[in-house]
Structure formats: C-alpha cells, structure tokens
C-alpha cells in the first residue's frame, strides 16, 4: 500500500517538472503581420544565477490573417520570454524562445490572448516568422 502511495505522488509530481508543451500555429487566436516598434526587456533572476528576460514589443499591424478585435493600423502589445542566461544548475521547466525581434523588423505573429490588452506569442519557436524584404 505504501508503494502505491509513493508511485501516485511521483506520477503527480513528474508533470510539474516537465517542459511546457508547445502551442501550435493552428490554435493561435490571432495571426497578424506588422512592424515592431519599441521593444522593452525586463530581466529577473532564474534558478539562482540564471536570468529570465520578459519582452514586450509594440507592433503596428499591417495585415490581419485571422482573429478578431484587431485591425490593420492598430498598435498592439506583444509579449514573450526567454532564459537569456542559463543557470549553472539546470532546472526543469519552460525556457522560452529567442525570437530576436528588433525595432523596425517586419514579421508575422501567431498570438494567444494574455491578461489585459496584451497578446503573447504562442509558446513555439515558430511563433514568429520574419518577413523577408
């Protein structure tokens, strides 16, 4: 009986240690193309000596491919995160993505709604596709 309890507790704990599952483009609530404006970055400690950076960019929408509540010409806040300095002792969990977005980049975004009037890039390395000029 005791062994069953230990196995049950471990089975519940293991998903908490897993990487965050990816979100897929087909499930995005909003797909837009736009030009990146100002990008703000806020760093915070991660896993002792690591650093997690939360990004927010203003994006001027030029085209809406799918979704509601946004139209061409709107400026929307788009957020994402990335562990920019890995901790010495690796931790299980989500490390984000490096979308390498800079001011004046034109890109296509697959987005999910976030609290407030923000959008967040789907949790997937393919959540942003820069437009080739």
Query: pLDDT digits over 13-58, tens only?
Result: 444 445 678 899 999 999 999 999 999 999 999 988 999 999 999 9
Model pLDDT, residue 132? 84
- The full 3-state SS of 75-122, as one line of letters, equals EEEEEEEEEEECCCCCCCCCCECCCCCCCCCEEEEEEEECCCCEEEEC
> Which pTM was predicted?
0.82
Query: Class assignment of domain 20-130?
Result: mainly beta
Provide the token pair at 29: 């609530």
What mean pLDDT value characterizes the chain?
Answer: 87
Confidence of residue 5 (pLDDT cuts 50, 70, 90): very low
CA atoms of 105 and 73, how far apart (whole Å): 16
Domain definitions of the chain by residue range: 20-130
**59 has a pLDDT exceeding 80:** yes
CA atoms of 67 and 109, how far apart (whole Å): 12
Model pLDDT, residue 13? 40
């Amino acid at each position: 009986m005791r062994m069953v309890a230990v196995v049950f507790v471990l089975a519940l704990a293991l998903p908490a240690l897993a990487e965050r599952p990816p979100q897929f483009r087909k499930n995005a609530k909003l797909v837009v193309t736009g030009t990146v404006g100002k990008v703000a970055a806020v760093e915070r400690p991660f896993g002792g000596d690591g650093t997690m950076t939360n990004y927010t960019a203003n994006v001027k929408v030029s085209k809406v491919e799918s979704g509601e509540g946004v139209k061409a010409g709107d400026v929307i806040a788009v957020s994402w995160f990335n562990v920019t300095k890995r901790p010495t002792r690796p931790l299980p969990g989500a490390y984000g993505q490096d979308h390498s977005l800079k001011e004046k980049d034109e890109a296509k975004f697959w987005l999910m709604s976030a609290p407030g009037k923000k959008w967040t890039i789907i949790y997937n390395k393919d959540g942003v596709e820069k437009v080739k000029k």
